[in-house]
Each structure stands twice: as structure tokens, then as C-alpha cells.
Amino acid sequence: MIIVDTSVWIDFFHGKDLPEVRTLERILDAGEDICICGVILAEVLQGIREDGDYIETLSRFESFLFLPMNQHTFVKAAELYRILRHKGITIRNPVDCMIAAVAIEHDIPLLHKDRDFNTIAEHCGLKILKTSEKPTKASRKLPPRHGKS
């Protein structure tokens, strides 16, 4: 089970040949459970320009496990931000703290391409999925359906 950050989805949809994208492709090909939260879903969908792509992506993302964000999640996100600020570290995008809080809350590793998550992992216990450099096939348009039909 893995949470995939928006940064990786964007590169996946743009067909970039990066270790994080190749790791996502392997996860999709293996049929492993992929989790998302409301913030990731909103970020991915708001960046899609074409209506057909939007509808198809939304349909595919409905097959992923949706992790709810409740009051505790948002309090945890604020705590992560404050802990780091007290250490003299400023997270560039506080939304990253929300995504990290969901991952920490559910004890699920995060696949990302955003340096702020490495900082959160180093100081706050976020689990990060390490990427590998092995190349895989070049399918990039949309993730295949898995889970529910």
C-alpha cells in the first residue's frame, strides 16, 4: 500500500522518464493498492485541461483507496509545520504537511518528488518509498484500473 503524491502523478501524465514515475508504473503493473486523499485528488484533477481526460482520470482515481482527512489530520498537519518551524525549517507548501499527516496517520509510505517531504521524513517520522533506477515500459496516459470495477 502506498500514497502517491501529486508531484509524481503530474510527471506520470506528462510522460517524464524519472525514477519516481518508473516506480509508480511498477506499482500500477503489480496491482498494488494505491491510496489518495482529498488534497491529492483535487490537485490532480484541477490541473487537467480537457474534459475527456478529466472524466477518465476521475474514473480511474475512483478505484484507488481514499483516505479521509478529519480534524485530527489537520491538527497533525499543523503540528508537523510547527515542529519544523521551531527547528528553523519552513515547508514551502503547507499542503505537503496535510498529505504527510495522512500518510503518518495511516502508517503508509509516500512516493513523491518534492524535497519538503524528505525534510518531514527526516524530522517527523514520515515513511518515504525509495525509488529505483530500473527502467520499465513507457505507458503514461492513465493508470490502469485495479481494485473495484
Residue 68, SS3? coil
Cross-strand pairs, 121: none
Residue 141 above 80 pLDDT? Answer: no
Q: What is the DSSP letter of 66?
A: E
Q: Which own/partner contact pairs does 103-108 have at CB distance under 8 Å and 24+ positions apart?
A: 103/3, 103/127, 104/76, 104/80, 105/67, 105/72, 105/73, 105/76, 106/3, 106/35, 106/67, 108/1, 108/2, 108/3, 108/35, 108/67
- pLDDT tens digit sequence for 50-77: 999 999 999 989 999 999 999 999 999 9
pTM of the model as a whole: 0.85
Domain 2-124, CATH: 3.40.50.1010
Report the interhelical angle of 38-46 vs 94-106 (nearest 10°): 140
Please state the φ and ψ torsions of residue 125, each to the nearest 5 degrees: 85, 15
Quick one: cell of 86? 521551531
- pLDDT tens digit sequence for 74-104: 999 999 999 999 999 999 999 999 999 999 9
The full set of domain ranges for the chain reads 2-124
